[in-house]
Structure 1
Amino acid sequence: MRYETMTPVQAEVIPLAIAGNDIIAASQTGTGKTAAFLIPLLQRLIDKERTKTRALVLTPTRELAIQIDETFVGLGYHSGMSSVCVVGGMPFYPQEEALVAKTDVVIATPGRLLDHMRFGTFDLSSISYVVLDEADRMFDMGFLPDLRRILSQLPKKRQTLLFSATIGRDVLRVSKEYLRDPISVQIGRQVPVDAVEQRFFAVSQRNKIDLIMDILDDRAVESALIFVATKRGVQQLDRTLYKAGFSCDAIHGDRTQEERVVALEKFRRGEIDFLVATDVASRGLDIANVSHVINYDIPRDPDDYIHRVGRTARAKKKGAAITFVTSDDGDIVRRIEHALGHKIELQQEGSGRRRRPLR
C-alpha cells in the first residue's frame, strides 16, 4: 500500500482507536483518514471468530464506499477478513448473500443498508466497531434520519469513530447521542499545499466554455477533474467538450452506478483526460495523477474549495487548481481568501494564458 510515514490524522487517531476509544475527528478528504480507521479495525478484530459481522462503515456516497472497500482489501489482504460493499445502483442479491453469510466488515451507504434491514438480511447484533465517514456530508444529503434508524439498532456496547470535515450542530448532536465519552481530534483546516499552483480567472458566465477549451488545449494540462455545480451543468459541459473533440466523461447523480464506475476507471487508467463531476458524485474520491483541478463553477463553501483543490498535487507531485470567478461570486471569493489566509489575485479572462504556461 506504499505507506511510509503517518499523516497527522493517522498519528492522532490510530493509537486512540486501537485503545478502544470513541473518537470524533475533524479531518478532510485526502488526509489519510481511511487508513486511520481501517488499521485499528483490522487490529481490534483480526483475532475474533469469523462467524459474525463485527464492523460497519457508513459513507455518504457509493463511490466513497467502493473506494474504502478497495482500501480494506489491500490493507487486510493477509488477514483473512472479508468485506462487502452495500450500496445502491448495484445488484441486491449478491449483497444479501454476503450479509446472510455474516461477512466480517460491511461498508455501506445508509439508504441501501436500510433496505436490507427491512428485509431482515442484516444482523447487527454482533457489531462492535462502527465508523461514520464524512458525517457532515451525510447530513447535507439528508441521511440524518436514516443514520438515526441504523445507530439506534446497534449494540450499545461498541466503539464508534466519527469523521467529519466540519463539526457542526448535527455532528455534535449525533456524537452526544451515539458516542460514549468521545475523544476529539482536531487536525485543523487543511490549506492547499505549496505544490498546488492556484489561479483565479475573472470570466462572464457565457464565456466560460471558451475559456475552458483554451485551457484544456494547453498541453501542460495532462489530466483534469472539472467541477460543475449541477447535474444538468455537468451533462451540458461534458457533451460540449466531447463534441469539440476532448477526451472526457462525466459522473453525476443521474448516472447509474455502473456508468460512474466505468467513467472513474477510465480516468484513473488514463483512457480519458478529463472528468466532469459534481461535488456529491466525486466526494471522497482519491484519484492519483490529476495534474489539474478546474472549478468551472466556484464552490459555495471554502471547505469545499479546499477539498477540490486537494485532489491534485498528491503523493508529493505538483499540480494546479484553476477557478472561474464571475461577477456574482464576490462573497465566496472573500470567504475563500479568509480560509487561505491571503488575498486572491484575479487574472482577467484571456490575459496571460498563452504568454504564461499553466504549469
Structure 2
Amino acid sequence: LEPTRELAAQVVEQFEKYGRHTGQRVLLVHGGVGYEKQRRGLQEGVDIVVATPGRLLDFMQDGTARLDDVEVLILDEVDRMLDMGFLPDVRRIVERTPKSRQTLFFSATMPPQIKTLADFALKDPVSIEIGIRFSPAETVSHFMYPVAGDQREELLLAILKQTHFNSMMIFTRTKMQADQLYGAIRQTGEYKVAVMHSDISQKDREKALKGFRDGEFEVIVATDLAARGLDISGVTHVINFMVPENSEDYVHRIGRTGRAQKEGDAFTLFSAEELPYVASIERLINQKIPRRKLGGFSYKYTTVLDEEDKARAILHGRKKKRR
C-alpha cells in the first residue's frame, strides 16, 4: 500500500525492473483512472499488487479483490497516509488479510496514531531505524531569507535570477500558491517550469515528473505531494516558499537535494508570522539556520529583517491579546 499514485507507480516500475526474469506478475491499482483495466488484471490473477487504499477498497467491496491468500503485506510511507487521512482505510484493509501474513511497516515518524496502527498490524516486530532521526543531509547548505509577506513572490523571482542551478524544486503550502508561482515563473520566460499538485490530472503529473527527471524542466513547483518518497535525483536546489508548518516536513522537503553525497542548497523564505515554525525546525534539527539577505533586492522594512527578537515579542504580544 502506498499513499499516492506517483509512489505506487514508482514501486511498480522498480518491481518490473528487478523482477524482470522472475515471472512475477505485478499490477498497479490506483484512483484517477478507469476501473476496467485494473479489474481485468485482478481477475486474471497477479503475484504482487501495488495499490493506493481507496481504489483497493473499491475492488474489495465489489468482490474483485480478495485478500485471503496474502502472504506479505507492506505498508509504506504510513506517516504520509496519516497526513492524508487514510489510516481508517488502511486498518480496514489490514483486517481483511490473513493473520499468518508477514507485515512490513515503513514510516519516517512514529506519532501516537501510527504507533497504535503498528501495534494493531504487527506481531512481535523487529524495529529497524536507519539514519539519525531528523538529521538533514550534511551536504545541504541551509539558508533562511526573511521577507515582508507581500514581497515573498518578488523575492523568490529575484533569488531565481541570482542563483546558478541545474534543477530546482519549489515547495508551496497550497495548490493555489503552486499555480500562482508557476504562472509568475513562466511569465518571466526564462525558465522551463512545471507544476505538480493533486488537482492536476494523473497524465499531466506524470508528464511533469518525467520532464523534471529527464531535464526537460529545470524548475518544478509542487505541494507536499511531491516532497516525500518520490525518487528524484540530481536536484541542486530546494526552495520553501513558506516555512513548512510541520517541522518534519522541512527535513523531508530538503531531503530532495544533497542526495548521495552531492552538494545542494535549501532556501526558505519566512515572514514574522512564521517565526514559531522556524524555531521548531531549528529545535528539531538541532542547529541554527543562517539568515541571508539578497544583495541588490529592494526590501520593504519589516522587523523580521534585522530584529527577529523584536518581531517575536510583537507576535507573542499579539497572541496574548487574542486570548
**TM-score computed with the length of structure 2 as normaliser:** 0.87
Q: 1:281, CA displacement in angstroms?
A: 4.4
Q: Deviations over 1:8-46 (max 9, x none)?
A: xxxxxxxxxxxxxxxxxxxxxxxxxxxxxxxxxxxxxxx
Q: Deviations over 1:186-225 (max 9, x none)?
A: 3341412221111111112211112111222236122111
Listed one character per residue, the Cα deviations across residues 46-92 of structure 1 (whole Å, up to 9, x for unaligned) are xxxxxxxxxxxx11111111111112122212222121111111232
Report what 1:293 is aligned to. 238
Corresponding residue number in structure 2 for 1:118:
61
Aligned to 1:340: 285
| More helix by percentage | 2
Unaligned runs of 5+ in 2: 298-323
Aligned to 1:229, the other structure's residue is in SS state: coil
CA distance in 2, matches of 1:209, 1:232: 13
How far is the alpha carbon of 1:282 from its aligned partner? 4.0
Q: Give the match for residue 43 of structure 1.
A: none
Equivalent position amino acid for 2:174 in 1:
T
Q: Which residue of 2 aligns with 1:276?
A: 221
In structure 2, what is the equivalent of residue 189 of structure 1?
A: 133
Match of 2:144 in 1: 200
Which residues of 2 match residues 175-254 of structure 1 at below 5 A?
Answer: 175-187=118-130, 188-218=132-162, 220-245=164-189, 246-254=191-199
Secondary structure of 1:346's match? Answer: coil
> Is 1:86–1:95's contact at 8 Å kept on the other side of the alignment?
yes
Q: Does the CA contact (< 8 Å) of 2:31 and 2:55 recur in 1? A: yes
| Secondary structure of 1:213 counterpart | helix
SS in 1 for 2:143: strand
Q: Deviations over 1:311-337 (max 9, x none)?
A: 012223211111111111111111111
Aligned position for 1:59: 2
2:88 alignment partner in structure 1: 145
- C-alpha RMSD over aligned residues: 1.5
Gaps of 5+ in 1: 1-57, 354-359
Equivalent in the alignment of 1:47 = none
- Higher-Rg member (1/2): 2
Query: CA contact under 8 A between 2:236 and 2:257: conserved in structure 1?
Result: yes
Aligned-pair CA distance for 1:267: 0.7
SS of the aligned residue for 1:315 comes to: helix
Structure 1 stretch displaced more, 106-115 or 191-200: 191-200
- Secondary structure of the structure 1 residue equivalent to 2:157: helix
Corresponding residue to 1:106 among 49, 63, 85: 49
The two structures have a TM-score, normalised by structure 1, of 0.79
Q: How does 1:27-176 map to 2 (within 5 A)?
A: 58-176=1-119
SS in 1 for 2:261: coil
Give the percent of matched residue pairs that are identical in Structure 1 and Structure 2. 42
* Count of residue pairs the alignment pairs up: 295
Supply the distance in 1 between the matched residues of 2:265 and 2:110 (Cα, whole angstroms).
28
Q: Tell me which moved more, 221-230 or 205-214.
A: 205-214
Amino acid at match of 1:72: F
Q: Which amino acid aligns with 1:244?
A: T
Instruction: Give the 3-state SS of the residue equivalent to 1:99 in structure 2.
Output: helix
The runs of at least 4 consecutive aligned structure 1 residues that moved more than 6 Å come to none
State the match for 1:312 in structure 2.
Answer: 257
Quick check: 1:298–1:323 contact (8 Å CA) kept in 2? yes
Given that residues 69 and 107 in structure 1 are in contact (C-alpha distance below 8 angstroms), is that contact kept between their aligned partners in structure 2? Answer: yes
CA distance in 2, matches of 1:66, 1:104: 16
